[in-house]
Structures are given as C-alpha cells and as structure tokens.
Structure 1
C-alpha cells in the first residue's frame, strides 16, 4: 500500500483543490490565478500574438484579472464580468488587488462584524489585497486599511488564505 502524503490529507480534509491544481506550462504557477493590470492601458487580443486582432483595451490600472491560460509571453485573462482575451505578460503584475462588489462595503478594524468601521468603500473600488482568513480579507485603499467580508470581493478565491 502506497503512503498518503500530508498535503493530500490536508486537501481532502479542507475540501481544497489546490493539491491537484493545474500548473501553467510557462511559469509553473497555478492556473487559474489572480493578478492585476500593471499598465494603465493594455490591448486584449483574440489570440496569443501581435498578429491577432485587438478585441478591446483594458483601461484601468491595478484592475484584478484572472489568468486562465499561458502561451509563451502571453496570458489569457478574464475580468470580473467574464470578458477577456490574451494580453502580453509585461502588462500584468503579481500584486494582488480586488474589486469591491458591494455598495458601501464596511472596512472593520478587526475581522469581526462587531468591530469598529474604519472606512466604507463604494462598489467598483479597487483595493490592495493583504491578509485573508477563511471569511475575511484585509484591504487597503485610499489611505485606509481594514477587514472586509471575502464574499463581497472579486479577485480572491473563496478558499484562499493569505498571511
């Protein structure tokens, strides 16, 4: 009988699929994964080369995007609405951001609904992603920092933990 590794046991117990997560053929990083727009403008192409047609242009620096595929220097990405295509890797950053999906999202001083509210963020605000627990993420935006419910954010996986 073959021994079972600790990683597999933890993945099964936590219901996490990270153990068997697919890896990108170019970077060997997990796919899908979240990144952000490094540039303030980036062409989104129909395929992974400069010869492919530009379908549209992303025009929001720091916007969170999900990488769904890799090919050479190109990454297939999608935004919160599912719109996407291929962008050159030089337009992307590993800095993690999230998009606020709730109107007037409370940022708490601690990950607790009863904790003091330090700020409120409007729907559509892009915030820097810091720590995450199972249900909460610490964000910073506009000089404010606090904890928000993970379910009210796009750009972080529901089971993702960050230190």
Structure 2
C-alpha cells in the first residue's frame, strides 16, 4: 500500500485510498487470503497505526510513509518546539552535511517522543536520536504535518536545525 501497490494490481486514488474489495481480490490473486475481519483487526491492532479505514469502512490507506505519490490531505500544523528523528550511527555524518531528506519516501518522518525515535533508529543499526528544532524551523516558514497516527512529517530538515548528540 505504501510502496508498490501496482505490483499486485492494486490501484490507489490520489489520496492513497484503496477499495477493500479490490485489495482482497488482488491479494488473493497473489496467494494471500484477506478477509474484512482480518483487515479490520490489522488496522485496529497495529502498534504503529500504519493504516486507516475510511468513515464508511470500505477503503483503506496507509497513514504515511508512501514512496508512491499520494496527497494525504493533511493541513499544515504548528509542531512542538522539539521533534526527534531516529537513525543509525552510520548515517550521522551525511545528515550533518545535508540534513534530513525523505530518501525513498515523500517526507521526513519525525516523532514527538524520543523513545519512539530510538526504536526507529535501532531498526537500522546502532541507534542515534537526533533532536530537530521544529519550532525554529516553523518560525522560518517550514511546514509540518501530523499524520493520523501521530507521526510528524516535513518535506526536509536542513542541517542547521538538527542537534546531533556528542556520543555518536
């Protein structure tokens, strides 16, 4: 849903929504049996709240993290003064030079909680938690968005707004 829905024949609309019947049919054609109760359970129980159902319960989409072009329709919001980004220590020097870029995604993902960022960073190697001066960025005109699952999004984070811990 976030990266290559077309590989199974699934079509997303401009906002990233897919019809549940279409998802179940496409998955079945590729050897995975999905049911409405299973999909609803995944949406409700996923610890990162990656997915959402529409109000009618007929469509599903990822809350953020797409590498395919979608418009989630999120309005700009005022971020907390500080946000965090978890990464692996091997990426720190590149981040110091170039800031945070979305890489294969549409936007940079940030967290309001340091512990969440640490968990994200640990998935990629020795974790480093970067402090992002989001309030300063916003005052400079940078826009922030908050996905339905609480992940903060920015188009990029320039290096001058990133504090790297000394112990990296």
TM-score (norm 1): 0.25
Q: Which one has a larger percent helix, Structure 1 or Structure 2?
A: 2
TM-score (norm 2): 0.25
Q: Which one has a larger percent strand, Structure 1 or Structure 2?
A: 1
Which gives a bigger RCO, structure 1 or 2 (Cα 8 Å, sep 6+)?
Answer: 2
